[in-house]
Structure 1
Amino acid sequence: MNTSNKSTLTLVQFEEEDIPGLIELSESVGWDYDKHEIGTVMSAGSVFGHKNAHGTIVSSAAIIPYEVRLASIGMVIVNKEYRGFGLGKEATQQCSNSLSGDTSIMLISTEDGKPLYERMGFKSVDRVHKYICDTYSTSKKTDTTVTIEDFYVSHFREIVKLDEAAFGDKRSHFLEYRINQSEQCVVVKDKNGSLIGFGLSILGPINLIIGPLVAPDAQIASIILDKLASGHQGKLRIDIPSGQEAFMETLEQCGFVNVSNPPIMMLHSTKMPQRNDELFGIAAQVFG
């Protein structure tokens, strides 16, 4: 533990000029946030944390409020030299305090962080399944009744509706920022021309992140995955909600490995938001 007096630490809301310091904090714990990811987090929500007397960022926590009844907390990081002061709890509490009291708050915890969140009143309600792939092999799934197209602005309203039903809350502002950040965004239409699914890929410093991925079934989800992942030279990552076992089997056939299953925790609720089982890949753990 750093022997500096805790009174020299200041809890602040970070701004755009703090992004380089937040990247350094992320790298110090082996996480791969870059300026684009943090920029989307700041555009869709707020990031709080502590600075020391020299202005160095030593903790962070982000809150992304969605549009009806749900928010997501993530990016909870404390510099290893400043652990033991309760900084993670203070930054997370500041995130919670920034919302109205009846908002349900979701977070995806590390196993180490779980006891802290339990003390704050969070309850474990489910798990997410983190998959990593070094070399992707296409699933070769096909469906002649659907077509897959690149995203156009005219698709946005339907994407928001599909995402709301799949995720459990409306998040149009977040999706606007996320699509602008994306490497690729595709939509799937049925034989009548109705939009029935979509997927995004986000190019990070280590992985091509797939998500959100919304589809009516595992086969269509696999077709979207192929479109987003095929041809990428490098690592891929996708985080899968529980209940999508058929899709997880396809992932493993394509070269993905399940590396962890962190708990999903909720505050002000004892269960997951209502979903329609069409979410096959979350946007990222910070976004719930």
Structure 2
Amino acid sequence: MDVRRLSLDDLPACTDLAISRDWGAEEHKWRLLFAVGEVYGLDAPDGDGLASTTVLVRYGLDSAVASMVLTARRYERQGLAGRVMRHVLDQAGDRIVSLHATALGRPLYERLGFETVGRVDSCRGLFRGEPSGATRAATDADLDPIVELDAEVFQTDRAPLLRRMPAFHERLRVLERDGRIAGYGGAWRNGDYLVIGPVVAQDVDQARALIGDLATGWGVPVRLDLDTRQEELTAWARANGVDQGFPNALMVRGGRLPGDRSRLFTPFMVALG
């Protein structure tokens, strides 16, 4: 049984595995991961779907993100997740690799050389805040400046991912200062809730403005994946109804994450950083 590169033909098996682990189907998200990343898996020995999966998304020549580490319950504790993860790390080569880990997954990643460098609280709830009026809807002409701003903040090339935002997101907004884009953010549907991410801004006031304008008017719960070091923003989100959360550890292998992480207020999604 060898680890193999999966294709879109394997999407139903991926969503079936995710549903079986209570992650939800998340087909919209899986399709993006197939488009921008490399999806790997092990076929189940009994012939029934996939036994395990992992996704690798490369950014430029120096960094990558791993995600969607899933194993079928009937194959737990047989080393399959570690096997697929080691294959993914081999593919990543010398890149710095990051991931978000639940408490259940942390021991595996620590054995593979990952270190915890931060914590993200994934919070959900009906947003009760008001729109700021300080942002505007993004246009096609804004995409190049967004890519340039993102490269400045992350110090790596995420252009292939960002150029898919207009098709992937249901709402995309920018904030301008002195005639230049100073921040951007997006909102996308994931099942019965709305994910707010990414949000990149110069400071917490800009982040609140973007989140407020992205999160209002939907009538469904929103999800904010908030770095716990952003205490002011976390307190604001909880005061506005987004207060039911669970923790994820931000873990890194191979070096220090590049860029200015203080300007990243919510990730694109935890699967993509």
**Equivalent residue number for residue 212 of structure 2:** 226
Match of 1:5 in 2: none
2:143 equivalent in structure 1 = 156
C-alpha distance in 1, partners of 2:157/2:132?
30
Tell me by how many angstroms 1:107 deviates: 0.8
- Which moved further from structure 2: 71-80 or 244-253? 244-253
Measure, in 1, the Cα distance between the counterparts of 2:162 and 2:25: 18
The change in CA–CA distance for 1:85 and 1:56 in structure 2 (over 3 A counts) is same
What do you get for the CA RMSD once the two structures are aligned? 1.7
Q: Which amino acid aligns with 2:104?
A: D
- Which residue number corresponds to residue 272 of structure 2? 287
> 1 CA distance for matches of 2:79 and 2:161?
30
Q: CA deviation at 1:10?
A: 4.1
**Alignment-mate amino acid for residue 106 of structure 1:** S
5+ residue gaps, structure 2, are none
Q: What is the match of residue 73 of structure 2? A: 80
Identity of aligned residues (%): 24
> Structure 1 residue 156: deviation in Å?
1.1
Mark the CA change 1:276 to 1:62 in structure 2 (over 3 Å): closer, same or farther: closer
**Structure 1 counterpart of 2:179, one-letter code:** G
Asked if the contact 1:139–1:222 (Cα under 8 Å) also holds between the matched residues in 2, the reply is: no
**1:168 offset after TM fit, Å?**
4.4
Structure 1 residue 252 displacement after superposition:
1.0
The partner residue of 1:128 within 110, 120, 126 is 120
Q: 1:189 aligns with which of 165, 176, 181?
A: 176
**Which of 89, 96, 109 is residue 89 of structure 2 equivalent to?**
96
Q: CA deviation at 1:258?
A: 4.9
Check whether the contact 1:240–1:281 (CA below 8 A) recurs between aligned residues. Answer: yes
Aligned to 2:190: 204
Alignment partner, residue 14 of structure 2: 22
The one-letter code sitting in structure 1 at the alignment partner of 2:142 is H
Are residues 41 and 231 of structure 1, via their aligned partners in 2, closer, same or farther at CA, if it must alter by over 3 Å?
Answer: same
Letter in 2 for 1:128: V
Alignment of 1:48-87 (within 5 A): 48-53=40-45, 54=47, 56-87=49-80
Structure 1 residues without counterparts, runs of 5 or longer: 1-8
SS of aligned partner of 1:286: coil
Which deviations, in whole Å up to 9, do the C-alpha atoms of 1:21-70 show, x marking residues without a partner? 10111111111342221111111111111112425112100000001411
